[in-house]
């Protein structure tokens, strides 16, 4: 209902059904839902890459700005007549060369304005919600090398902001608004420890600037996703799930890991308009599946996949700066060994136990503890561990097998912001301390659920040399399982009022995976998402 303010009704051609796609981003494909509410396609203008890609109304960002202003107005430290000022990302080159790196917008700026171009600033009047975009005044040579130069008016329409000016006018335009204070963004990202880039321009010293209020407030807004944002995240998950399935169908013993990385990226881009992935693809096979962040420049997915290898592929596509984060683990030859199956099913049990328990009010560290406990129980059932599970928990044995956190917030950043607001403490115990958030769950939060069991030589050696942990380990059996490498099962979910919605849709049980891969080798009969989720 709140969307209605953004409709330009006179422009809308109401149709009885969906209108065919036309390659303009201001067309009129209109559709009414059964309750008389309009579909998102009605909200214009929108971001769209044509074909079957998702149309994202820029009204998404108008709503984000409105939510931010409402929050700031409730903050007693915010004076009347304050203006939020953000600086967008800038183009960069390879080191000292003139070779450009494909631009990706800075995440806070994207959340607020949805602008894809580099070198911009944006301002929002907190009292009125009025938005101003500042775009770079491009040199004439731009028209030769880069293409048509658009005036500010073009960007005003493209992004549905109230005003647009050149960046060179920022000082005079803001001065004309006589703001009591400019709220700029300065704060630490709790995952990287890096500080956000605060807006700065020539002449800012004439303004009263506050750089501490904005960061916690805007981060808090980003933690809860709107319905329009959820539509984008459903899309990124749909495309990335399909891409993972393409990979599972194509994988063959003898291939290089990077061939599957390439196939994933190709599917995401060609079918989903995803020029970027949310993070570097992790395509570990065999023992590489136990390397949590394999795929980096020092280990660039370059091993040959061998018969008997387990593949752990952690990959997610990004559309219009919204991400996804999915891990599939499956046998390269299409058939799990007994050991692989036992470990896989232990992790799947943990994943499903967490999904059953997720709902508003639940503390995320408790979900981590739940997954850990299921792992320890299952490893005991398999025989790798022996003894009392409560005693194992006391010596943090779970963190030997799952040294990372159970999952994290997901959104515009794959490790999305706001995990540790003031008052939420990071635990110190192994495993739990790696959690990227320790919050209680609220409806509208999007998270990954990614339990894993890994046989990491370094950690196993450490445990075997620690009498407090070694006493629980059956080292002969452990030896047999080391070849499994690691299993991770990662899905993306939204917390709903009563539980959760699963966004990811890939074959998950051993039976589903083996059947899907067998079909993939012969003909391409597709995996049925709905019937799988009903199970
Ligand atoms: Mn993840």
Structural domain contains residue 24: no
Domain membership of residue 341 (yes or no) is: yes
User: Is the domain of 206 the same as that of 237?
Assistant: no
Picking from 138, 144, 146, 145, the residue whose alpha carbon sits closest to that of residue 168 is 138
Confidence band of 120 (pLDDT split at 50, 70, 90):
very high
C-beta of residue 520 within 8 angstroms of C-beta of residue 343:
no
Judgement on whether residues 152 and 243 belong to the same structural domain of the protein: no
Residues within 5 Å of ion ligand 1 by Cβ?
A: 325, 448
As a whole-number percent, the residues of the chain with pLDDT over 70 amount to 90
Q: Does residue 532 lie within any of the structural domains?
A: no
Q: Which band of pLDDT confidence, cut at 50, 70 and 90, is reported for residue 39?
A: low
Alpha carbon distance 128, 131 (integer Å): 9
Whether 372 contacts 434, CB under 8 Å: no
Question: Quick one: 83 and 165 in the same domain?
Answer: yes
Q: How far is CA 327 from CA 11, 82, 415, 481, in A?
A: 43, 44, 15, 21
What pLDDT does residue 27 have? 39
Of the pLDDT bands very low, low, confident and very high (cuts 50, 70, 90), residue 380 is very high
Number of residues written out for the chain: 535
CA–centroid distance, residue 513 to ligand 1 (Å): 21
Do residues 270 and 171 both lie within one domain?
Answer: no
390 and 465 belong to one structural domain: yes
CA 175 to ligand 1 centroid distance, Å: 44
Residue 87, classed as helix, strand or coil, is: strand
Mean pLDDT over 402-426 rounds to 98
Rg of the chain taking only CA atoms, in angstroms:
25
Domain membership of residue 386 as a residue range = 227-525
Show which of 223, 249, 266 is a domain's final residue.
223
Compute the Cα dihedral for 266, 271, 276, 281 and give only its sign. negative
> CA dist 389 to 350, 375, 449, 487, Å?
15, 10, 22, 21
Distance 490 CA to ligand 1 centre (A): 7
Question: Which pLDDT band, with edges at 50, 70 and 90, does 25 fall under?
Answer: very low
CB 435 within 8 A of CB 415: no
Whether residue 450 is found in the same domain as residue 467: yes
Say how far residue 484 (Cα) sits from the centre of its chain: 28
Cβ atoms of 124 and 112 within 8 Å: the answer is yes
Q: What is the mean pLDDT of residues 357-380?
A: 98
Residue 243 in this model has a pLDDT that exceeds 50: yes
In the reported structure, the alpha carbon of residue 76 is separated from the centroid of ligand 1 by a whole-number distance in angstroms of 36
- Asked whether residue 177 carries a pLDDT value surpassing 90, the answer given is yes
DSSP E strand boundaries for 167-268: 181-183, 209-210
Whether 93 has a pLDDT exceeding 50, the answer reads yes
pLDDT band at 535 (very low <50, low <70, confident <90, very high): low
**DSSP conformation class of 319:** B
What CATH number corresponds to the domain at position 303? 3.90.230.10
Regarding whether 196 and 143 lie in a shared domain, the answer is yes
Contact 225, 411 (CB under 8 A): yes
**pLDDT tops 90 at residue 67:** yes
Reported confidence tier of residue 526, pLDDT bands at 50, 70, 90: low
Percent of the chain residues past pLDDT 90, beyond the cut: 89
Residue 285 alpha carbon to ligand 1 centre in Å:
18
Strands 446-449 and 326-331, by their bridges, are unpaired
User: By mean pLDDT, which of 36-50, 269-283, 372-386 is the weakest?
Assistant: 36-50
Of 160, 191, 223, the one marking the end of a domain is 223
Residue 23's pLDDT band (boundaries 50, 70, 90)? very low
Confidence class for position 4, pLDDT limits 50, 70, 90: very low
- Assess if residue 18 is contained within a domain: no
Residue whose entry in the numeric block shows the structure tokens 């608004």: 177
C-alpha pair distances (Å), 449 with each of 82, 119, 348: 39, 36, 11
Helix (H, G, I), strand (E, B) or coil at 197: coil
In a domain, residue 286? The reply is yes
Q: How far is the CA of 326 from the centre of ligand 1 (A)?
A: 7
For residues 188 and 194, the answer to whether their CB atoms sit within 8 Å is yes
State whether 503 and 383 are in the same domain: yes
Number of structural domains (the chain) is 2
Question: How far does residue 408's CA lie from ligand 1's centre (Å)?
Answer: 7
pLDDT reported for residue 520:
83
Q: Which one of 193, 223, 253 terminates a domain?
A: 223
Residues 311 and 197 in one domain: no
Q: How far is the CA of 55 from the centre of ligand 1 (A)?
A: 26
Q: What are the angstrom distances between the C-alpha of 502 and each of 44, 314, 326, 333, 376?
A: 29, 17, 12, 28, 25
Q: Which of 39-48, 100-109, 161-170 has the lowest mean pLDDT?
A: 39-48
146 with 241, same domain: the answer is: no
Strands 209-210 and 181-183: parallel
Q: Looking at the structure, do residues 193 and 278 belong to the same domain, yes or no? A: no
Q: If you measure from the C-alpha of residue 107 to the centroid of ligand 1, how many angstroms do you get, rounded to a whole number?
A: 18
Tell whether 533 is covered by a domain. no
For residue 455, being part of any structural domain is answered with yes
**Residue carrying the six token digits 């051993």:** 510
Do 216 and 231 share a structural domain?
A: no
Is the residue at 25 inside a domain?
A: no
> What pLDDT does residue 359 have?
98
Number of H helices, E strands in the chain: 17, 18
Q: What is the CATH number of the domain that holds 111?
A: 3.40.350.10
**Average pLDDT score over the chain:** 92
Evaluate whether 112 touches 61 at the Cβ level (below 8 Å): yes
């Amino acid at each position: 209902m709140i969307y209605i303010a953004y409709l330009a009704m006179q422009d809308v051609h109401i149709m009885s059904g969906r209108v065919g796609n036309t390659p303009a981003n201001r067309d009129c494909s209109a559709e009414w839902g059964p309750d008389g509410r309009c579909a998102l396609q009605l909200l214009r203008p929108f971001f769209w890459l044509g074909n079957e890609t998702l149309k994202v109304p820029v009204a998404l960002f108008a709503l984000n700005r409105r939510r931010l202003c409402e929050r700031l107005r409730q903050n007693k430290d915010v004076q009347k007549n304050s203006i939020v000022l953000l600086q967008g990302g800038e183009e960069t080159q390879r080191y000292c060369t003139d070779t450009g790196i494909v631009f990706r917008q800075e995440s806070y700026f994207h959340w607020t304005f949805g602008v894809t171009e580099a070198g911009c600033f944006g301002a929002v009047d907190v009292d009125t919600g009025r938005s101003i975009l500042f775009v770079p005044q491009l040199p004439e040579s731009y028209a030769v090398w880069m293409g048509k130069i658009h005036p500010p008016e073009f960007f005003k329409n493209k992004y549905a902001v109230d005003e647009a000016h050149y960046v060179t006018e920022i000082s005079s335009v803001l001065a004309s608004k006589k703001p009591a204070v400019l709220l700029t963004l300065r704060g630490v990202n709790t995952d990287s420890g890096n500080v956000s880039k605060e807006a700065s321009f020539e002449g800012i010293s004439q303004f009263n600037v506050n750089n501490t209020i904005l960061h916690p407030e805007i981060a808090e807004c980003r933690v809860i996703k709107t319905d329009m944002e959820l539509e984008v995240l459903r899309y990124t998950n749909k495309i990335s799930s399909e891409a993972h399935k393409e990979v599972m169908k194509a994988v063959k013993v003898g291939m290089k890991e990077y061939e599957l990385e390439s196939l994933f990226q190709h599917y995401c881009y060609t079918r989903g308009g995803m020029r970027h992935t949310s993070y570097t693809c992790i395509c570990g096979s065999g023992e590489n599946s136990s390397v949590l962040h394999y795929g980096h420049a020092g280990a660039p997915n370059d091993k040959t996949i061998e018969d008997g290898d387990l593949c752990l592929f952690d990959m997610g596509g990004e559309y219009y700066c919204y991400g996804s984060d999915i891990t599939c683990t499956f046998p390269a030859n299409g058939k799990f060994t007994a050991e692989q199956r036992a470990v896989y099913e232990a992790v799947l049990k943990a994943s499903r136990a967490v999904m059953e328990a997720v709902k508003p009010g639940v503390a995320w560290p408790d979900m981590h503890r739940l997954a850990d406990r299921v792992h320890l129980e299952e490893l005991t059932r398999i025989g790798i561990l022996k003894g009392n599970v409560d005693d194992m928990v006391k010596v943090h044995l779970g963190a030997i097998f799952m040294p990372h956190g159970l999952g994290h917030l997901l959104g515009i950043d794959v490790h999305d912001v706001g995990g540790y607001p003031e008052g939420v403490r990071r635990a110190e115990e192994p495993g739990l301390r790696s959690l990227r958030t320790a919050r209680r769950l609220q409806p509208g939060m999007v998270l990954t659920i990614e339990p894993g069991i890994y046989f990491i030589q370094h950690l196993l050696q450490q445990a075997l040399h620690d009498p407090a942990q070694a006493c629980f380990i059956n080292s002969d059996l452990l030896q047999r399982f080391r070849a499994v490498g690691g299993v991770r099962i990662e899905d993306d979910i939204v917390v709903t009022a009563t539980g959760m919605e699963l966004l990811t849709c890939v074959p998950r049980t051993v039976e589903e995976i083996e059947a899907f891969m067998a079909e993939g080798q012969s003909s391409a009969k597709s995996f049925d998402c709905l019937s799988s989720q009903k199970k």
